[in-house]
Every structure is written in structure tokens, then in C-alpha cells.
Structure 1
């Protein structure tokens, strides 16, 4: 039962913005998730403003999402939103009991992250070669994503001042407004320099701080980047199905397969928890075959 007359939603979002430095994408996800929750509570006849929710309501909510055909990953994400919300309310003494306690995540399929083999990467690079300014931009994007492992939002938010070709590093503002510096490889620098010298100048309508621009000369959005990569992937292969995050997976997988230690990869990816990085410790069949032949006496 709610014990405080303050608006719990407003107070929670203040906490996310001020204490957690939550990104706009995170705030959007929580806004959407809690809006769905409030709507469900209203349908159940629960006072959503005071949040007199019980464990039964949480279980019914999970069941309702399942009946709508939502995937387990989506249901788990919504439950995570509720858990964070109610842990905060409990901490602030706004509720007596946490209704999400003892509620378990739906079991998740143990899927390995999709990564690209080198020949798949090469085909992706090849379709972006040319004098067209958008091709120059897209090659720079793909080279940068693969060279650094940065997230889509981190890529689209890059400013010209974040790139330092002297030290060969990129300054990244990650989740929770946390900063890190990531090395850039020579191929990515070459692609970026060509884009800056030619393609970007042709795209730019007025002075712009963002590195990547769309065909109107405006900053490229997350959605625009995803659409761009989907288009280039389709040009490179009719069977290849990847997302921009696949390049982040590829970055981590290739580093680990070549002997990089997990802690270093964790820092490069900007993961807070090492367990998040450990999902990349799967290895390719080629790598396993190489290790087997080099180590087994009768290989």
C-alpha cells in the first residue's frame, strides 16, 4: 500500500535524471514501460496514482503480456522496469512492500550474440566504397563501429571534437553519462578522413558539430543509422541478417578470439559488470579447431 502522497512517478523520474544520469533512451524506455503498467492497473481497478499494487497484479501483468504474444525478452525487460521502480519506492518509504519481490524473470533462450566473419565484413565494406558522399559516410560508420565497438547512440552522438587522430582515440559518452576513451584503428581513421575531406562537406548545409550527417545535412539519428546499415547489409548479401549491435558483438568476439583479456574488452565496451562482457566469450568453430590442433596430441 502506498504511504506517501507525493507523485511516485515524478519522483522516480527525478531520481533517474539527477542521481542516475539516465540517457534519453533509458528515460523513454521507462516512460513507455510505466505508462503500460499504469494503464493495466487502471483496467484492474487499482488506484494507479497511489500504486496499491500487489504481487498478484504483477503476475497478472506478466501473463497479459504473454497472452499478447510478447517475446520473453520483452517481458523480462518490462519486469526489469517495474523492479527498478518499486525498489526505488521501497527505498524512499513510499510503499510498505515491494510487489515485484519473488517474481522471477521469464526463462531466456541461451542465444549467442550474432557476429560477422571477416569475409562478411569485407563484403559490407565493399558496397560502401565509392565517391558518393553517403557511401563515404556509411563506410566511415561501419569501420568506426567495428574498430571501436561503440553503441549506436554513442556513434550518432559523436561530435567532431570527440575524435583525436593524433592520439588515435575517440571520446565516448556512454550509458549513465560515463566517459571513456577508445582506440581507433588505421582503417577507421582512413575512412573518417576521406569522409571529412569530401563526403561530409558535400552533405553539410551549415556548420555542424555532429560527426555523421544525413542527406539533408542534419545530424544522423539512431533510427537513421539502423536504416542505413540495413540497406547496406541487403546490398552486400541477401542472406545476411544483422543489426548495428552485431558490429559491437563482432568487435568483442574478434578481440577475445585473438587473445585479448576480458577485463580490457569490458573497459573498451563500457560495461559496468564483467558478467555482461562474458556473453562474448563464445569462440568460433575455426578458433576451436585451431586450439584443438595445437593442443591435442593426436589431432
Structure 2
């Protein structure tokens, strides 16, 4: 079994190009199911279990209060594992062949308004010193590029092209894309880099965004930063880097950007992923439709 799990991890990392975060999540889910089987069924070979074992795990997870969406994510990890075993001809049929995902309710992601964003930007307008300039740049870069939090954290110093006003980011499944940056952001790069160069110690020199100790910033630093600033201007429940990304897409669509362009900027593999942002623009779409259609003007 150890060989199967190791081979599966290699498959996800080398062939599927999954990120370290996704890789860890998949492997943890499989280990969790393996542990469940050992405890409840004294079975430690999960590539030979049936759907009854999986169903028992699902019932146990739900009973512990795990949300349906989280359960579905865990089962998706198992499904990927069994798909790998099928691909490598180690099993002939997946025990999840007829499994149906648990029903979930889509949580409406409410973007920030333009006023809220500009109120935050007003707060950091006169930023000075390393941390203030870094924070301002992070907020502005997330809002003007729509990049993911993970992409911002992993941004390499060598991939920031101030002269050509662009950055290269590494998205999901190690897919690279070039993002344009506004001239005002390129100017901020220069100011930040001057302060960055003055740090006493730089440990993670290859990464663009650092802490004052010279270490690469992490998820919690970016989340706390966004949550802190936007909490002063917004009463929305969720105030996270993902909501800023959602805001970026919504504001572009509201101001006439076409869906395909937004898709490319966000790094989505299909339009279906981008279309979730169109609901926020529905009122504007209705007004355009009403003004443009001959029957709407009567």
C-alpha cells in the first residue's frame, strides 16, 4: 500500500502538476480514510475496500459536523486515487463509480464596492517604510490583477518586469501566465524594492514579497492584511484575498470587459469557472439589455 500511495503522490506532483498545498490535502484525505478503515474495519489496504466502507466514512464525517462541501472534497481525493489505480491497472473498477456527491448550497460571494476599495486605497496612499509600502502594493496588486493569494506569495523576484509592466505568475497545476500591471503599480514596485534592499537580513531572496525578517510571506500574513484594512470600510461578512479577486473580476465585467479576457486574467481553464462572477454584474447587464433592445426603449 505504501508503494501505491507514494506512486500516487508522484503522479499528482509530476504528471498532474498539482500545487504543494493540493498535494498535501489529497494525501491527508487518503491517510484519514486509511486510518478510519484500520479503526472500524481493521482493514489497512484501501485499494481493496468496497463502497460500504466509504459510505461508513461519509456517515462518520457528517456525524462529526464536517460540512457537505468538505466531505465532497475528501471524496474527490479518494476518487482521484482510485482513478490512478485504474489507470495503472491495479484495480478493475472504482468503488466510487456510482457515488453521488452530497448536496451543497452555493455561498454567495459578495464583492467589495468600488467605494470600499478606494476607501482602503486612500488609507494607504501615503505609505512609508518597508511594511507600509509592501502592504499597499499587496492590496493594489491583488485588486488590479486578480491574482490568487498563493500566486502572490510564490511570486518570484525574477518574474517582476518593471520595464515592461508585467509579472509572470505560477497558477494552479504549475500553469504560467503573464499579467499586465498598471503604470502606477510599476512605480510602486520600484519604491518597495528600494526598501526591500535595506532589510538587514534576506533569507528567501528569490521571493518578491518578504516579511521584515527577510522571510517569504505566508497565507496568514496576506489574509490578516486584507481582513484588517477592509474591516475598517466594509461590514461584509467575508473580507479575504479571494473576495478581492472576486471584486477584481466583478468590477471588470461591470465596466464592459468581455468574459474571455477576464477568464485569461484569472487563469481559469474554462469559462464555466469565470461565469460565477457574472451574477454580481446582473443588474448592470439588465440595464444594458434594456437600453440596447428596441423593445426595452418603449
Match of 1:264 among 238, 261, 264: 261
Provide structure 2 residue ranges, at least 5 long, that are not aligned to the other structure.
none
What SS class does the counterpart of residue 37 from structure 1 fall into?
helix
Q: Tell me whether 1:169 sits opposite 2:166 in the alignment.
A: yes
What SS class does the counterpart of residue 282 from structure 1 fall into?
helix
Contact 2:114–2:251 (CA<8 Å) still a contact in 1? no
What SS class does the counterpart of residue 98 from structure 2 fall into?
coil
Q: Tell me whether 1:44 sits opposite 2:40 in the alignment.
A: yes
TM-score by length of structure 2 reads 0.90
What SS class does the counterpart of residue 181 from structure 1 fall into?
strand
Match of 2:98 among 102, 118, 126: 102
Q: Tell me whether 1:54 sits opposite 2:54 in the alignment.
A: no
Q: Tell me whether 1:123 sits opposite 2:119 in the alignment.
A: yes
Provide, for residues 200-256 of structure 1, a one-character-per-residue CA deviation record: whole Å limited to 9, x for no partner.
Answer: 234452372211111212111123222222222334446563111111111111222
What SS class does the counterpart of residue 7 from structure 1 fall into?
helix
Provide, for residues 44-70 of structure 1, a one-character-per-residue CA deviation record: whole Å limited to 9, x for no partner.
Answer: 225323532111122221111111111
Provide, for residues 57-99 of structure 1, a one-character-per-residue CA deviation record: whole Å limited to 9, x for no partner.
Answer: 2222111111111112211111111111111111212123211
Distance in structure 2 (CA, Å) of the matches to 1:25 and 1:216: 24
Distance in structure 2 (CA, Å) of the matches to 1:263 and 1:234: 32
Q: CA deviation at 1:137?
A: 0.6
Match of 1:13 among 9, 12, 18: 9
What SS class does the counterpart of residue 179 from structure 2 fall into?
strand
Q: CA deviation at 1:258?
A: 2.0
Number of residue-to-residue matches in the alignment = 293
**1:192 corresponds to:** 189
The range that moved more, 42-51 or 284-293, is 284-293
Contact 1:160–1:210 (CA<8 Å) still a contact in 2? yes
Q: Tell me whether 1:139 sits opposite 2:136 in the alignment.
A: yes
* CA RMSD in angstroms, aligned pairs only: 2.2
Q: Tell me whether 1:154 sits opposite 2:151 in the alignment.
A: yes
**1:297 corresponds to:** 297
Distance in structure 2 (CA, Å) of the matches to 1:111 and 1:189: 35
Match of 1:70 among 66, 69, 79: 66
TM-score by length of structure 1 reads 0.89
The range that moved more, 183-192 or 100-109, is 183-192
Q: Tell me whether 1:23 sits opposite 2:19 in the alignment.
A: yes
Q: Which runs of 4+ in 1 moved over 6 A?
A: none
Distance in structure 1 (CA, Å) of the matches to 2:289 and 2:15: 49
